[in-house]
């Protein structure tokens, strides 16, 4: 039954992605309501599907590739809704909603063929570890998007473009707040995720865990978060520098995800 709910969620995310275009580009309030309504509906069915999926597998930790993708998509949809409700803007929906749709689309097609087989899955801290790391990924995606939108809006203002040019961009202050707060959320989520992973390692694996490529890259990503926050507090982090540094962290994030293929403890394999 969870596949049905997931397919409904995917359809609603697809509708929300399409509605975001006229809502953002042309400022149509009607499409704005459609976008938010479809996203909220998709989030509800997505949550129900994920809960049923994990319950059917007799565990509450996402251990399959599809389960992890589904949880990441749910977190992205959650972040979009929080930003839309807090800052009254759906501008991020043009980018975040298609990403959530694509992440859900593959799990909605059929059963999972790849799963996380490490014995670490028996540890109760695994859910905290996985959920926190994925939350950091979702926050980083929005921080990078905010940095890109800030750069566009800044150039628009400096070049004194007409009001008709990119009128959907939020004010600079709003974009800056979103970039900063999502960066903080990502940093704290990554910290919690790494601490939970360290606790798991101490009780189940030992020092070998900290020599794993994915773990090393994850700590590298955490250090880049620290650098970003330090530069932002001491010198300011906006415009082109923010895009460059956020893009670097995003590339490291992709490397962390790709490192699943060579990791001894995080590899997804076919049963």
Number of domains in the chain: 2
**Residue 70 belongs to domain with CATH number:** 1.20.120
Mean predicted lDDT score pLDDT of the chain: 79
Helix ranges (H only) for 88-212 are: 93-109, 126-158, 172-204
> Which pLDDT band, with edges at 50, 70 and 90, does 215 fall under?
confident
104 is in which domain, residue-wise? Answer: 1-113
Phi/psi at 118 (nearest 5 deg)?
A: -65, 145
Query: Are residue 133 and residue 203 in the same domain, yes or no?
Result: yes
- 228 and 122 share one domain: yes
- Do residue 59 and residue 19 come from a single domain? yes
Give the separation between CA 140 and CA 146, rounded to whole angstroms.
Answer: 10
What would the mean pLDDT of 85-107 be, rounded to a whole number? 89
Whether the predicted model's global pTM rises above the 0.75 cut = yes
Q: Give whichever of 159-168, 179-188, 202-211 has the largest mean pLDDT.
A: 179-188
My answer on whether 27 and 103 are in the same domain is: yes
- pLDDT band for 212, please (50, 70, 90 cuts): confident
Confidence band of 115 (pLDDT split at 50, 70, 90)? low
Residues 109 and 123 in one domain: no
Task: Give CA–CA dist 110/146, Å, rounded.
Answer: 34
Assess whether 108 and 126 both reside in one domain. Answer: no
Stronger pLDDT, 247 or 83, i.e. the higher one: 83
- Do 241 and 123 reside in the same domain of the chain? yes
Q: Are residues 133 and 242 in the same domain?
A: yes
In this structure, the answer to whether residues 107 and 158 fall within a common structural domain is no
State the alpha helices, DSSP H only, in 57-125.
Answer: 65-87, 93-109
pLDDT (0 to 100) of residue 270: 46
Q: Please tell me the predicted confidence (pLDDT) of residue 69.
A: 85
209 and 261 fall within a common domain: yes
Give the residue from 94, 113, 132 where a domain finishes.
Answer: 113
The tokens for 82 are 């929080």
Which of the residue ranges 52-56, 121-125, 186-190 has the most confident prediction, judged by mean pLDDT? 186-190
Predicted pLDDT of residue 122? 52
Question: Final residue of a domain: which of 54, 78, 113?
Answer: 113
């Amino acid at each position: 039954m969870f596949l049905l709910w997931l397919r409904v969620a995917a359809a609603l995310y697809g509708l929300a992605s399409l509605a975001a275009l006229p809502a953002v580009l042309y400022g149509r309030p009607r499409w704005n309501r459609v976008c938010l309504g479809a996203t909220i509906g998709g989030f509800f069915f997505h949550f129900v599907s994920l809960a049923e999926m994990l319950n059917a597998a007799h565990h509450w930790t996402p251990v399959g590739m599809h389960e992890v993708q589904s949880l990441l998509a749910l977190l992205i949809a959650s972040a979009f809704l929080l930003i839309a409700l807090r800052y009254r803007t759906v501008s991020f929906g043009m980018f975040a909603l298609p990403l959530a749709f694509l992440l859900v689309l593959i799990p909605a097609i059929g059963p999972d063929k790849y799963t996380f087989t490490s014995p670490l899955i028996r540890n109760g801290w695994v859910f905290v570890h996985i959920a926190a790391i994925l939350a950091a990924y979702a926050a980083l995606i929005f921080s990078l998007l905010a940095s890109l939108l800030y750069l566009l809006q800044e150039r628009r203002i400096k070049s004194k473009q007409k009001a008709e040019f990119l009128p959907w961009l939020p004010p600079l202050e709003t974009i800056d707040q979103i970039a900063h707060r999502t960066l903080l959320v990502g940093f704290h989520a990554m910290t919690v995720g790494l601490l939970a992973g360290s606790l798991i390692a101490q009780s189940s694996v030992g020092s070998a865990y900290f020599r794993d490529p994915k773990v090393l890259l994850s700590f590298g990503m955490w250090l880049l978060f620290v650098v970003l926050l330090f530069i932002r507090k001491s010198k300011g982090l906006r415009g082109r520098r923010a895009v460059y540094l956020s893009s670097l962290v995003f590339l490291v994030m992709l490397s962390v995800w790709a490192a699943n293929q060579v990791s001894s403890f995080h590899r997804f394999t076919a049963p």
